[in-house]
Amino acid sequence: MSGGRLLLGATPLGRPDDASARLVAALGTADIVAAEDTRRIRSLAQSLGARITGRVVSLYDQNEDKRVPALVEELRAGATVLVVTDAGMPLISDPGYRLVAACVAAGVPLTCLPGPSAVTTALAVSGLPSDRFCFEGFAPRRESARRSWLAALADEQRTCVFFESPRRLAACLTDAAEVLGRDRPAVVCRELTKTHEEIRRGGLGELADWAADGVLGEITVVLAGATPEADVDELVVEVEALVETGLRVKDACKHVAERHPGAPPAREIYDAVLRARG
């Protein structure tokens, strides 16, 4: 064989019919299917009417280091290897990174069969700004580490997406409300794309109260970015610059207030201009 290639295949979050046609084709043609759970990928293939003809091997966090050398050798010998995880895109808080890094180092071609991702799906339905965002993986398990992690997000202005276990969700949201403030907007996405999908929006305090009774299912949390605090003195300088171009003071204050997230109301800026003028 020659011309081996690594395929990274995104799998459905819940509904089998969200699988791409390319994933279905790859399941039937790959020489090796490296799956996080071999039983789940066989079940998915059956649901999709795909017949896996290649060898199926497990590839999960605990065995990836041991699997990588043999898989790279298979790839260099010409095999097509398809990597899939239980749901969503490989490598995104799922196995696959070590294999990809080894393939890059060995010069083995690789490509992605794009598809479902809990990260972008949650971001899209959250209603929070999506032009700039960061992904934080799973929230830390231990309370002290979790609170330190949350404190580091206090001034993060990008929307933040992270995963959490349903068993720890209430504790995580309670810590978040205490560290970031009860009113910081957030969205909890439960069982995305599945029959019992639920999207809960509100402040962190409200969501913590809701989760206190217990939550089941796969959880993705979307946290609103911090609103920057505007420097009033700098706003006054900007107002005066606009006034010099011919704008009235009130109009300039309104323009500046609308232009800067976190700026005080135009009336407060107007009062600050008057105080600065003495």
Residue 106 and residue 140 in one domain:
no
Residue 24 and residue 99 in one domain:
yes
229 or 256: whose pLDDT is higher? Answer: 256
Residue 1 has pLDDT above 70, yes or no: no
Residue 136 and residue 67 in one domain:
no
**Mean pLDDT score of the chain:** 95
Q: Which two tokens stand for residue 17?
A: 């019919």
Residue 57 and residue 30 in one domain:
yes
Alpha carbon separation from 177 to 83, 145, 207, 212 (Å, rounded) = 38, 16, 9, 13
Residue 138 and residue 188 in one domain:
yes
What range does the domain containing 88 cover?
5-116
- Please identify, among 89, 116, 143, the residue that sits at the C-terminal boundary of a domain: 116
φ, ψ dihedrals at 188, nearest 5°:
-105, 120
Residue type, 244: E
Residue 88 and residue 39 in one domain:
yes
Give per-residue pLDDT as tens, 177-205. 999 999 999 999 999 999 999 999 999 99
| Residues of the chain by 3-state class (helix, strand, coil), percent to 5 | 45, 20, 35
Residue 102 and residue 165 in one domain:
no
Residue 31 and residue 16 in one domain:
yes
φ, ψ dihedrals at 164, nearest 5°:
-150, 145
- Please identify, among 116, 149, 171, the residue that sits at the C-terminal boundary of a domain: 116
The CATH number given to whatever domain includes residue 78 is 3.40.1010.10
The CATH number given to whatever domain includes residue 152 is 3.30.950.10
Mean pLDDT to the nearest integer, 244-269: 90
Residue 129 and residue 108 in one domain:
no
Tell me how many domains the chain contains.
3
Residue 166 and residue 186 in one domain:
yes
Give per-residue pLDDT as tens, 73-112. 999 999 999 999 999 999 999 999 999 999 999 999 999 9
Q: What is the structure's pLDDT at 229?
A: 76
Rounded CA-CA distance 103/80 in Å is: 12
Residue 264 and residue 210 in one domain:
no
Global pTM?
0.82
- Please identify, among 82, 116, 150, the residue that sits at the C-terminal boundary of a domain: 116
The fraction of the chain above a pLDDT of 70, given in percent, is 99
